[in-house]
Amino acid sequence: MRGSARARRLASLGAFSIAAGAAVLLALPAGAEAPRTFRYASQGDALDLDPHGANEGQTNGIRQEIYEGLVWRSADLALHPALAESWTRLAPTTWRFHLRKNVRFHDGTPFTADDVVFSFRRANHKASDMKTYVALVKDVVRVDDHTVDFLTDGPDPVLLQKLPYHFVMSRRWAEQNGALEPPDKFTKEAPTARRANGTGPFRLVERVPDTRIVLESSPGWWGAAAGKLDVARAEYRPIANAATRVAALLSGEVDLVYPVPPQDLARIRAAPGFRVLEGPEVRTIYLGFDHFRDELLDMPGSGKNPFKDPRVRRAVYQAVDVKAIHDKVMRGSSLVTALLVAPAVQGYDPKLEARLPYDPEAAKKLLAEAGWPQGFAVTMDCPNDRYVNDEAICQAVVPMLARIGLKVSLNAQTKSKFFDKVRSHQTSFFLGGWASTTFDAHYTLSNLLVEQPPGPSWNFGRYSTPRMEALTRDIAVEMDQARRQQLVSEALQLARDDVAYVPLHDQTVAWAARQGVQVPLAPDNIPRLRQVRMAR
């Protein structure tokens, strides 16, 4: 049953990609009718708009309409030239990019190689959360006004896959607006919080935090040369409550909502004039632990951290009934997994999909062996507006763990507060979600399973082992694909065997739109406004 379910999901991924690919159109033919306003809503607001600020999916989804990288990724996951027209590899560690000419930022400033060099320096600033996309880049060198060389610290087999989210910013605008450095935290007061100046298809008109983001098509966008964008104005609304979000669609307030919780799908399907789009997502939902502290935050004065013992982590794993979460919380709209990477991610190994069995009695024995026969108390941090049914998942986990003696206090918060807390490592136990935006396993390994420099990171519990650190370094520069897969599989198995996290499931993408609105479904759960088509 398990294998057949996964096979059906993988088959649907193929159909997903074909359908999305068929919808990839950068611009309407010349002479098309006037563009329109597109209104859409999702769970939460962008954490910030700084091109080198928070590396978070919803945030990047808004940013990529305003800012561009040298490469762009469409909804079918294909890579396309963007600010770079072409590129070539001059040597194992040198890439030359030929930049697009006659491109201007939204304020009219010409785009040149100097902006690419400046953006690399800014992305590598200690406060930047986007340095992961250029982690292996040693330097960016200006060759001439429209040519740059990327010099990497060793061969980089997936450099191009990382560049769509390496956004380019105007050096001149940054100088004029006091934005030479990215903000050191998610803030609504930074120069880039409510102002932006990119080269993308849309320019920022207004941002009212937690209320709306308004974009308008940029008349000078280089990609509009073959015709006009179908969307002239886009209005994004963060609506945390799922029922309210669906009601906004059905009442005609918005044209698209995403994600749609499984419990609301039937309601939308039954409503005339609307349709549901579904497919597998590359985001894995998991439980995480504080691996680092000798004394858990929830146990002041004890000098103990139960989660440093793998038997305790395994007990949590075996106490969580993932099938019940799949059936009752997700209503079948998820894919139970044992791994931290989804099937669409390069490096995924189906041979490692065997989960530890659900067995509360075995979990109790493990706790007793670890010296916790009566269990212990712990706080569980959980977002309530970031992942599909995130708070409901946490609410389901609490009584499951109570059966083995763990007294879990649930702390569910809006994602901005949640991320502020967990990214500063002020957590003992948490629910997380991760999607590889490069669609390569190294991105997951390097962000979730190795120690990072001091400051905010996505490795909230600071998991690290010498072998995982070595594997991740080797994977980063291994060009032989067979050898690279061996290393990735070893790293994934190490994380699984060590119970670094407790994977729960891969999300599925579920969007709903009014009839006449065509939006290619994307497995990263991010709409591309340039690909939206609206019937007249």
Question: pLDDT band for position 63 (50/70/90)?
Answer: very high
Q: State pLDDT tens for residues 455-488.
A: 457 999 999 999 999 999 999 999 999 999 999 9
User: What pLDDT does residue 45 have?
Assistant: 92
pLDDT above 60 for 338: yes
Q: State pLDDT tens for residues 6-50.
A: 444 444 444 443 333 333 333 444 444 555 899 999 998 998 999
| Six token digits for residue 360 | 């509360």
Bridge partners of 177, per DSSP, are none
User: What pLDDT does residue 154 have?
Assistant: 95
* Mean pLDDT, rounded, for 348-353: 97
- Angle at CA 41, nearest 5°, toward 334 and 387? 30
Query: For all residues of the chain together, what is the average pLDDT?
Result: 91
Q: State pLDDT tens for residues 96-122.
A: 999 999 999 999 999 999 999 999 999
pLDDT above 60 for 131: yes
Nearest to 251 by CA among 534, 533, 514, 510: 514
Bridge partners of 412, per DSSP, are 382
User: What pLDDT does residue 183 have?
Assistant: 87
**pTM score, two decimals?**
0.88
User: What pLDDT does residue 437 have?
Assistant: 93
User: What pLDDT does residue 457 have?
Assistant: 75
pLDDT above 70 for 419: yes
Asked if residue 183 has a cis previous peptide bond (ω within 30° of 0), the answer is no
pLDDT above 60 for 336: yes
DSSP conformation letters of 69-125: -SEEE-TTS-EEESSEEEEEEEETTEEEEEEPSS-B-TTSPBP-HHHHHHHHHHHTS
Q: State pLDDT tens for residues 382-418.
A: 999 999 999 999 999 999 999 999 999 999 999 999 9
Q: State pLDDT tens for residues 269-307.
A: 999 999 999 999 999 999 999 999 999 999 999 999 999
